[in-house]
Chains A and B, each alone.
Chain A
Amino acid sequence: MAEPLAWQIATVRAIRAETPTVSSFTLELPAWRPHRAGQHYDVRLTAGDGYQAQRSYSIASPPSREGEVDLTIERIADGEVSPYFHDVVEVGDRVEVRGPIGGYFVWEPGLGGPLLLIAGGSGVVPLMAILRERAANGARPSTALLYSSRTFDEVIYREELDALAKRDRELHLLHTLTREQPAGWTGYTRRIDRPMLSDAVGAAGKQPLVYICGPTLLVEAAANGLVELGVPASQVRTERFGPTS
């Protein structure tokens, strides 16, 4: 059996803004272990009086990077942990983490494809780890990413996704902006629904492995819609965030 999961003190090595409310934090880990795309770390903050708050954040970086991981964290206005990262943490600070965690919502090149990845908001983070791992790997199964954001400026990794898709004909990006669209927007303009899911399955290819991550109600709608379209439930892996912020 694997070594027990222990808390360790990571050092923040870099902070990169992704959108106005989302940043990626590069953590250097003294007890780094290779992770699988889709896994997460738990982060624990301890106040002076001993009160602790703990949250899980998905790993955005691919497993091929040694000694450190990127966690992409959205600032939740009334959150206990994410505002600390966004408002207080600086490069060189130390934070308590444990991981990598999870053996179900994971993808490895050996699992193959085609892949259908569906994200709502910061639910794109573990899917980005999958896309980065896929890009780092020789074999690239046909893949579609259906990604729902509220506005254009809230699309996390937008430029990197565009760059990945530009040089990879097997990667198809389907964006929907549910609240506000820039002039000339050609993507979808509504919440994820059955016709959109049907398009995404068509773009990915037959019998896709499906990974869905986002707010609980979005995940429910997408997973149920896919099953109604004939995708076997056993092919659908989900990661639910809970209520929308």
Chain B
Amino acid sequence: MDDPLMLDANAVAGDLAELLGFEVTGASHRCGHCGNVAMMGTLLAWTHGPGLTLRCSICRDIVIRVVRTPARTLVDVSGAAYLEIISR
């Protein structure tokens, strides 16, 4: 996928930490589509649309989507089988 706008989850790590309350890129996930288990920092990020889309680095399917409106934030994690957040 030669998309020059593609970034990594690292690029939105600050916003995700503020939203979810944990450091996201160092956490692990399992892709709900292909089953790949990896750190969330491997997710590919598209940030230039109206929302944020994070895709699996292996199968490129959508793992997480975030949409903000003035009144609320919607986080769609239906593409993730699980998230694993290490306690510190």
Interface residue tally of chain A, by bracket? 20 to 34
Which residues from chain A contact B27 at a C-beta distance below 8 Å?
Answer: 103
Beyond A1-B88, A102-B41, A216-B5, is A42–B14 a contact (Cβ under 8 Å)?
A: yes
Query: Are B22 and A105 in touch, CB under 8 angstroms?
Result: no
Query: Are A240 and B26 in touch, CB under 8 angstroms?
Result: no
Against B, the Cβ 8 Å flags (1 = close, 0 = not) of A16-49 are 0000000000000000000000001010000000
A40: shortest Cβ distance to chain B, in Å? Answer: 8
**Pick from B5, B13, B18, B21: contact of A102, CB under 8 Å:** B13
Query: Are B2 and A220 in touch, CB under 8 angstroms?
Result: yes
Q: Is A215 an interface residue (CB 8 A)?
A: yes
Interface residue tally of chain B, by bracket? 20 to 34
Which residues from chain B contact A215 at a C-beta distance below 8 Å?
Answer: 4
Q: Is A135 an interface residue (CB 8 A)?
A: no
**Pick from B8, B11, B23: contact of A103, CB under 8 Å:** B23
Cα–Cα distance between A56 and B13 once the two chains are bound (Å): 10
Beyond A2-B88, A4-B17, A103-B25, is A217–B4 a contact (Cβ under 8 Å)?
A: yes
Which residues from chain A contact B4 at a C-beta distance below 8 Å?
Answer: 215-217, 242-244
For residue A244, which residue of chain B has the nearest CB?
B4
Q: Is A98 an interface residue (CB 8 A)?
A: yes
B27: shortest Cβ distance to chain A, in Å? Answer: 8
Which residues from chain A contact B41 at a C-beta distance below 8 Å?
Answer: 102-105, 237
Query: Are A103 and B87 in touch, CB under 8 angstroms?
Result: no
Q: Which of A98, A103, A239, A241 has the most CB of B within 10 A?
A: A103
Which residues from chain A contact B11 at a C-beta distance below 8 Å?
Answer: 56, 239-240, 242
Cα–Cα distance between A237 and B10 once the two chains are bound (Å): 11
Against B, the Cβ 8 Å flags (1 = close, 0 = not) of A209-245 are 0000001110010000000000000100111111110
For residue A2, which residue of chain B has the nearest CB?
B88
Query: Are A217 and B2 in touch, CB under 8 angstroms?
Result: yes
**Pick from B10, B21, B24: contact of A105, CB under 8 Å:** B10
Cα–Cα distance between A56 and B41 once the two chains are bound (Å): 15
Query: Are A240 and B7 in touch, CB under 8 angstroms?
Result: yes
B87: shortest Cβ distance to chain A, in Å? Answer: 6
Query: Are A104 and B39 in touch, CB under 8 angstroms?
Result: yes
B44: shortest Cβ distance to chain A, in Å? Answer: 8
Q: Is A77 an interface residue (CB 8 A)?
A: no
Q: Is A114 an interface residue (CB 8 A)?
A: no
Q: Is A120 an interface residue (CB 8 A)?
A: no
Query: Are A1 and B42 in touch, CB under 8 angstroms?
Result: no
Q: Which of B13, B18, B22, B23 has the most CB of A within 10 A?
A: B13
B18: shortest Cβ distance to chain A, in Å? Answer: 6
Cα–Cα distance between A40 and B17 once the two chains are bound (Å): 13
For residue B38, which residue of chain A has the nearest CB?
A234
Would you give 25 A-B contacts (Cβ < 8 Å), ordered by A? A2-B88, A4-B18, A4-B21, A5-B14, A5-B17, A42-B14, A56-B14, A98-B14, A103-B23, A103-B24, A103-B26, A103-B27, A103-B41, A104-B9, A104-B10, A104-B39, A104-B42, A215-B4, A216-B5, A220-B2, A220-B6, A238-B8, A242-B7, A242-B11, A244-B4
